[in-house]
Homo-oligomer: A and B are copies of this chain.
Amino acid sequence: MKLGLFGYGTIGRGVFTLVNKLNKKYNCEIKKVFDLPFKKDELKELLVTDINEIINDDEIATVVEVLGGHDLPYEVISRCLAKGKNVITANKEVVSLHLQEFISLAHENDCSFCFEASAGGGIPIIRTLIDNLKVNEVNDIYGILNGTTNYILTKMADEDLSFEDALDLAKKNGFAEANPTADLEGLDIVRKINILSSLAFSGVINNDDIYHYGITGVNKNILNKIKELGYSLKYVASSYKNQDNDVLIRVEPTIVKANHPFSSIKYEFNAILYTGSTNDNLMFYGKGAGSIPTATAIVADLVSILENRAYIDFDVKNILSVNKNIKNPYTYYIFDENGNYEVKSNVSDEALQNAKFYARIL
């Protein structure tokens, strides 16, 4: 099978390496790589600088999209699916916004749309969840879905660093981007919990409907107080659906008790825990980002295509109402600058956001 690769950055290089290792067993080969002209030295005759050279190449049956951003990936993915090419992507922004459209296009054109790497990075959660949903109804999902923020919170708690020092260290060690806003404010997590919830609850969810509150307000005093209480602080996405298809999805700092399996999820690791009708409390743990873990997830999708077992049963029959008809039932620690706190329930989002910092109790 001939492949087209869109994007030759960190993840694209990882995919390139792993696909070349697969080569002998599966007889697949990257025929063209789309990127900017300066990659010519590395890619030689494989490089194309016009997306149409891949999209219109009928010999290319499967493409991998790891460009980043929205507009170009959206164009590439939708046009390739319309041409009947299988598409594999790691792009959580595009997947969270257009999952339903991509899956419809794949169905109409008898090809596969695979996005294992778009949530949970190297953790094989998408396929596992799809499989498990055949025999299990998911009640709720909890995720530590962002390596940058979990790394910062772990460093602060375990090595008594300030927020700023922990963030600098994350940048230095490659766990935070130069502009970390999407990570620190929860936008990255919003996209991932959207994808997981859309699958688990069979519906379309708008990123804009998902509540999120960042971790930038945390300081040493607050973390020390949480440690004194015997708890740990995690940045958790939670998602819950009731029988009326009302969904409550919140991304917010969360206090977990010592015996909760999230308490030992440290540094850049991610975890997804869900409870269901027949499988209560399944948790999956691993690296949520990074070149090789992400490339591994992409190549796992590729192997499923090569073995004719890629699939997605995505049912959008439910019209989900997100964060509209469900009252927030959770209890919160509301902190001041010095780590003093009040414990409150029935508190409005506005009141939460006016605090120096707050954390939900899980």
Chain A positions near chain B (C-beta within 8 angstroms): 18, 22, 122-124, 127-128, 131-132, 134-136, 158, 258-266, 269, 273, 278-287, 292-293, 295-296, 299-300, 303-304, 307, 309, 311
Q: Is the CB of A296 within 8 A of B279?
A: yes
What is the predominant secondary structure among interface residues of chain A facing chain B?
A: mixed
Chain B residues near A299 (CB-CB < 8 A): 135
A25 closest partner in B (C-beta): B134
Chain B residues near A122 (CB-CB < 8 A): 278-279, 282
Chain B residues near A131 (CB-CB < 8 A): 124, 127, 300, 303-304
A123 closest partner in B (C-beta): B282
Chain B residues near A280 (CB-CB < 8 A): 287, 293
A313 closest partner in B (C-beta): B307
Q: A18-B135, A134-B300 are in contact. Are A281 and B292 (CB under 8 A)?
A: no
Q: Is the CB of A285 within 8 A of B282?
A: yes
Q: Is the CB of A269 within 8 A of B293?
A: no
Q: A135-B300, A280-B287, A286-B282 are in contact. Are A265 and B261 (CB under 8 A)?
A: yes
A284 closest partner in B (C-beta): B284
6 closest Cβ pairs, A-B complex: A283-B285, A278-B296, A282-B286, A134-B303, A264-B264, A309-B309
Shortest A259–chain B CB gap in Å is: 6
Shortest A134–chain B CB gap in Å is: 4
Chain B residues near A261 (CB-CB < 8 A): 261, 264-265, 269, 285
Q: Is the CB of B269 within 8 A of A264?
A: no
A269 closest partner in B (C-beta): B281
Instruction: Pick the residue among B127, B278, B284, B307 that contacts A285 (CB under 8 A).
Output: B284
Q: Is the CB of A18 within 8 A of B292?
A: no
Alpha-carbon separation in the docked complex, A286 to B271 (Å) = 13
Shortest A61–chain B CB gap in Å is: 19
Shortest A333–chain B CB gap in Å is: 21
A283 closest partner in B (C-beta): B285
Instruction: Pick the residue among B283, B286, B307 that contacts A286 (CB under 8 A).
Output: B283
Instruction: Pick the residue among B158, B273, B286 that contacts A279 (CB under 8 A).
Output: B286
Chain B residues near A269 (CB-CB < 8 A): 261, 281
Chain B residues near A292 (CB-CB < 8 A): 278
Alpha-carbon separation in the docked complex, A263 to B264 (Å) = 7
Alpha-carbon separation in the docked complex, A266 to B283 (Å) = 13
Alpha-carbon separation in the docked complex, A260 to B264 (Å) = 6
Alpha-carbon separation in the docked complex, A122 to B131 (Å) = 13
Shortest A1–chain B CB gap in Å is: 15
Q: A123-B282, A135-B18, A285-B285 are in contact. Are A259 and B158 (CB under 8 A)?
A: yes
A263 closest partner in B (C-beta): B264
A266 closest partner in B (C-beta): B259
A280 closest partner in B (C-beta): B287
Chain B residues near A282 (CB-CB < 8 A): 122-124, 284-286
